[in-house]
Amino acid sequence: MAAEEPQVATKAPESDAQTPASTTSLFPNDTPAQSGPTMGEHCTTDRPLASADRASSVKGEVTSINSVQCYVSKPSEYPHSPGKLLLFLTGGTGIHSVNNQLQADKYAEKGYLVVMPDQFGGDAAPNAAATVTAASSQDDAIAPAASSSSPSLLERFKLGAAETAKSFFIDMWLARHTPAKVMPILLKALEGAREEFADAVANGGGIYGVGYCFGAKYIMLLCGNGADSASKNQGASGDEEKGQTTQGPEVKVGAVAHGTLITKDDMNGIKAPIYIAAVENDPLFPKDILESGLTSFKHNGVEHKFQLFDGVPHGYAIEGDYQDETIHQKQRETFDTMVDWLETH
């Protein structure tokens, strides 16, 4: 299949890892869009679901695969029909997020046996909304004098302190979950999944991969040189580097949406076919990273498909309710395109 021409994110801000993004919401009554250079609220906080019934309709279960906790969702016909094995990597909310579980179930309904490993070892990202609330409560105690003369100034002070606290806790969390820490967990889960679900691996001719937010980076790495690329790109050393000697892609095809923490090296190392859904003006997946990757794909002959979505917030592609029906439409479009991409490979 011929690779599509890239759609360049011409309105995306220039990459500056030291400059925080605006905290202004893209949509009325929505939580703020991404803030900070690494991960933001949509990466760490679940969207509300349209109804309580949605939350109770989860079909899979959390189980242990090769000592790694995983959410596993199976096709209704399994094991009579083995399906295809799909590795699903989440954003910071992790495998216990109902939104992520429902998203995994959607792939199972399409015939995939979904394995969603806990790549954080039980340490999901700090909840951004809870962090802001806690920080705001602390501010009430440390800045009471401002309220009598300038309530608006107090609110601005509280918001700034809350955002600083949120960024601090997320950055501390990210420092605990580097590729040198995450990749061995993923490789261990993959090893166990290959053995436990060998029928699905054989039926699909390998392992398929999808990733969202934080997980998108790791699908990209697994579409390249696997753990070996993570070690080289991130400078892993010592015990963390032992055993990381894979020579090629761990997954046969990948599809990712609104990635975060992705580097030029991550994209330049991709070898397997890849579909990328990106958000216009997304500071967490900047213009120069995208352009570099798309140029590399062409140069290296990597089969790829790229779509740029405007009018949506980062995190839009995962199950969650939005007041704007346009976002839901693009959410459905992205899922359908990701499934179609997997199916053609």
pLDDT in tens, 269-318: 999 999 999 999 899 999 899 999 999 999 999 999 999 999 999 999 99
Query: What pLDDT is recorded for position 96?
Result: 95
For residue 218, which amino acid is it? Y
Q: Are 280 and 9 in contact (CB under 8 A)?
A: yes
Query: Chain-centre distance of CA 131, in angstroms?
Result: 20
Q: Which one has a higher pLDDT value, 35 or 109? A: 109
Superfamily name with CATH number, domain 41-123+177-343? Alpha/Beta hydrolase fold, catalytic domain (3.40.50.1820)
pTM of the model: 0.79
DSSP H helices in the chain: 41-44, 52-55, 98-109, 128-142, 145-149, 151-176, 179-196, 198-204, 214-222, 226-234, 264-268, 287-300, 325-343
From 166, 301, 188, 176, select the one nearest 246 (Cα to Cα). 188
Query: What pLDDT is recorded for position 134?
Result: 39
What is the C-alpha separation between 3 and 243, in angstroms, rounded? 34
Query: What pLDDT is recorded for position 51?
Result: 82
Sign of the alpha-carbon dihedral angle for 63, 65, 68, 74: negative
DSSP H helices in 63-127: 98-109
pLDDT in tens, 157-216: 555 555 666 677 888 999 999 999 999 999 999 999 999 999 999 999 999 999 999 999
Q: Read off the pLDDT of each residue in 69-75 and give the average, rounded to a whole number.
A: 98
For residue 293, which amino acid is it? G
Q: Are 32 and 276 in contact (CB under 8 A)?
A: no
What is the C-alpha separation between 104 and 320, in angstroms, rounded? 13
Query: What pLDDT is recorded for position 265?
Result: 94
Query: What pLDDT is recorded for position 251?
Result: 97
Q: Read off the pLDDT of each residue in 74-86 and give the average, rounded to a whole number.
A: 95
Query: What pLDDT is recorded for position 15?
Result: 28
Element (H, E) at 135: helix 128-142
Query: What are the structure tokens assigned to 127, written together?
Result: 């909840």
pLDDT in tens, 151-166: 565 565 555 555 666 6
pLDDT in tens, 209-242: 999 999 999 999 999 975 564 544 444 444 444 4
Task: Tell me: pLDDT of 246 over 70.
Answer: no
Residue 154, phi then psi, degrees to nearest 5: -60, -45
pLDDT in tens, 4-56: 443 333 233 222 223 333 333 333 444 343 344 456 677 788 888 888 787 78
Q: Strands 112-117 and 84-89: what pairing?
A: parallel
**Annotated domain spans of the chain:** 41-123+177-343
DSSP state at residue 201 = H
